[in-house]
Amino acid sequence: MYFEARNIRVLYDRVIALRGVSIALEQGEIVTLIGANGAGKTTTLRAITGLTKISSGEIWFNGRRIDGLPPQKIVALGISMVPEGRHIFPYMNVKDNLLMGAYLRKDKKGIMEDLEKIYARFPRLKERLRQQAGSLSGGEQQMLAISRALMARPRLLLLDEPSLGLAPMMVREIARAILAINKEENVSVILVEQNSRMALKISSKGYVLENGQIALEDASRNLIYNDHVRRLYLGG
């Protein structure tokens, strides 16, 4: 298995946030985590990246155990996260935001090549290279946040609510971009989404998190027709 979180448990001041959560994906796969607010989705991503310490369990990536490693080491191994709310640097211009994603890299030629790939994938960013990132639209900021993560050359991309607050047309554009990144660059994806319908449509496997534990796990195409999922997360 390319990535596995095995029975991970997270405590926040003695409150159990994750209760033995296990998820896995093969290389090149898109997996989604869906669930209500407070179910533990973001905590799961933060545990994978080392931003939140686990109290028990194991996390493995590409044959190596990574729980306990510092976040920068996990990024260097090939895992990048796009956080909820984007968290771009609002007073820096677009190009400098992108270059921040490559801060661990020394290959100047490769960085320039990756910038050109970003410009081709998101032409709007190329048009706004010298513009302050905070003045971009919400959709453009999300493109920038995803692109900044890609500048680290990840093999596993973690996306936390990429469609949050976006208009339906922009949600579709972001979904297409996720699929293209996955297929064209062979980047595996763990997608956390409140837009459960979109997430299940573009992923191959889904996990439903409820109260800090996995309530359901199945192929995404099956979860779309699951009565429990339809009632709670797909509007019936």
Q: What is the pLDDT of residues 37-69, one digit of tens each?
A: 999 999 999 999 999 999 999 999 999 999 999
Of 129, 153, 177, the domain-final residue: 153
What range defines the domain where residue 124 resides?
Answer: 89-153
Average pLDDT of every residue of the chain? 95
Across the range 13-33, mean pLDDT stands at 96
Q: Are residues 64 and 113 in the same domain?
A: no
Q: What is the pLDDT at residue 86?
A: 81
Please compute the mean of the pLDDT values over residues 128-144 and round it to a whole number.
Answer: 94
The answer as to whether 210 is a domain residue is: yes
Q: Is residue 140 part of a domain?
A: yes
71 burial class (0-12, 13-18, 19+ CB within 10 angstroms)?
A: middle
Q: Identify the CATH number of the domain in which residue 169 sits.
A: 3.40.50.300
pLDDT band at 236 (very low <50, low <70, confident <90, very high): low
Residue 84: inside a domain: no
Question: What percentage of the chain carries pLDDT values higher than 90?
Answer: 92
Q: Which H/E stretch holds residue 202?
A: helix 196-202
Q: Is the pLDDT of residue 175 over 70?
A: yes
**Residues 140, 142, 145, 149, Cα dihedral to 10°:** -120
Q: What's the angle, vertex CA 165, arms to CA 204 and CA 71, rounded to 5?
A: 65
**Separation of alpha carbons 16 and 225, rounded Å:** 31
Tell me, yes or no, whether 236 lies in a domain.
yes
Confidence band for 13, pLDDT divided at 50, 70 and 90 = confident
Domain contains 131: yes
Do 146 and 160 share a domain, yes or no?
no
Chosen domain end from 104, 138, 153: 153
SS (H, E, C) 81-134: EECCCCCCCCCCEHHHHHHHCCCCCCCHHHHHHHHHHHHHHCHHHHHCCCCEHH
Span 77-134, pLDDT tens digits: 999 999 998 889 999 999 999 999 999 899 999 999 999 999 999 999 999 999 999 9
What per-residue confidence (pLDDT) applies to 85?
Answer: 83
Instruction: Give the C-alpha separation, 204 to 221, whole Å.
Output: 7
Say how many domains are in the chain.
2
In Å, how far are 23, 35, 53, 74, 186 from 214, measured between CA atoms? 9, 10, 19, 24, 27
Sequence-distant (6+) residues with CB within 8 A of 172 are none
Residue 141 and residue 107 in one domain:
yes
Which residues, in sequence order, are CB contacts of 67 under 8 Å at separation 6+?
8, 47, 50, 54, 57, 58, 59
Tokens standing for 218? 């199945």
- The SS3 assignment for 8 reads strand
Write down which residue in 153, 174, 189 finishes a domain: 153
101 and 131 co-located in one domain: yes
* Judgement on whether residues 149 and 187 belong to the same structural domain of the protein: no
Q: Are residues 101 and 63 in the same domain?
A: no
Asked if residue 231 and residue 170 are part of one domain, the reply reads: yes
* Of 45, 187, 31, the residue nearest 114 (C-alpha): 187
**Structure-block tokens of residue 177:** 């971009």
**Are residues 189 and 221 both part of a single domain?**
yes
159 and 149 fall within a common domain: no
- Same domain membership, residue 170 and residue 149: no
Assess if residue 83 is contained within a domain: no
Q: Which residues contact 47 (CB under 8 A, 6 or more apart)?
A: 5, 8, 10, 18, 53, 54, 59, 67
Note whether 52 and 137 are same-domain residues: no
Same domain, 110 and 139: yes
